[in-house]
Structure 1
Amino acid sequence: MEKQTEILIGELKKLLNGGGAHVGFKDAVKELPFSALGEKPHGLPYSIWQLASHIKIAQWDMLEFSKDGSHQSPKWPDDYWPKETAPSNEQEWTDTLAAIDQDLESFINLLDSSDIYSAIPHGNGQTVLREAFQIADHNAYHIAEIVVIRRLLGIWKS
């Protein structure tokens, strides 16, 4: 692998895990009380549960699209957002966190095992590099919303 590509992949991995300029997903949900997951303070449109679920669904979709030509994306926007404002139980929350982590790890493995510059054969010009930036950008946006909700609820660390 070319040295510049190695450097780029290293930086992408950092970015996907939270980068250096903002909070990563794991820190955003760390020590989050289960009772707060369904709160929508100050008329905000989404709860932390809905945001985390949306991150899970969208990240999974981008991962699967990147590696599977027969993958069918969920219907936008209905199937990318849960209707429920809170998980039905703590196991559902734990499973969602695990899925986000596992799918991110799988995507990072894909960065290491593929030509990040080549067009994805079943796409319309997308590359693994583009999908990496899209996952990082999308997740960062919604992670920031989680932090704002935690701040509004008075349950953020700073």
Structure 2
Amino acid sequence: MANEFLQRGIRGTSAHTDAAVVFEGLDWQQAGEKPEKCPHSVWQLLWHMNYWQDFMLAYLKGEAPRNPEHAAETWPEDPRPASEQDWVQEVERFSAGL
């Protein structure tokens, strides 16, 4: 039952938004812009979410992921993706992890 609720939440039923489509319509250049008074760009947030998603998936598989020594390791330095390909790959990585 808990698994069903989790799946429904991730895939956007009831009051939830489908997490797999949250980045649709946002191009790679827009994703690199840091809005005023925001500490991170969408690119940085996506990269950070992927870092921890990969960490938790490894942990759930029984692996022993390395804990970062510093929080900075979990964020990309550059607020912008280097290319459109990098952006697409990170969005696909996020969706695959769901």
TM-score normalised by length of structure 2? 0.85
The alpha-carbon deviation at position 98 of structure 1 amounts to 1.4
TM-fit CA distance, 1:71: 2.4
Change (3 A) 1:22 1:16: closer
Name the SS for the 2:68 alignment partner. coil
Find the aligned partners of 1:56 and 1:99 in 2 and give their Cα distance. 7
Structure 2: unaligned runs, 5 residues or longer: none
Q: How many residues align?
A: 98
Residues of 2 paired with 1:55 and 1:70: CA distance? 19
Q: Tell me the equivalent position of 1:99.
A: 93
Q: Which residue of 2 aligns with 1:23?
A: 17
Q: Which amino acid aligns with 1:60?
A: D
Aligned to 1:38: 32
Q: Which residue in the other structure is 1:144 paired with? A: none
Structure having the higher Rg: 1
Q: Contact 2:10/2:16 (CA < 8 Å) preserved in 1?
A: no
Distance 1:46 1:10 in 2: 33
1: distance between equivalents of 2:17 and 2:72? 28
Corresponding position: 1:57 with 2:51: yes
Letter in 2 for 1:9: N
1:18 Cα deviation (Å)? 4.0
1:154 is matched with none
CA–CA separation in structure 2 for the residues paired with 1:18 and 1:72: 31
Residues of 1 paired with 2:57 and 2:38: CA distance? 29
Unaligned residue ranges in structure 1 (runs of 5+): 1-6, 105-158
- Counterpart CA distance in 2 for 1:18 and 1:9 is 14
- Aligned counterparts of 2:71 and 2:60: Cα–Cα separation in 1: 20
Change (3 A) 1:77 1:26: same
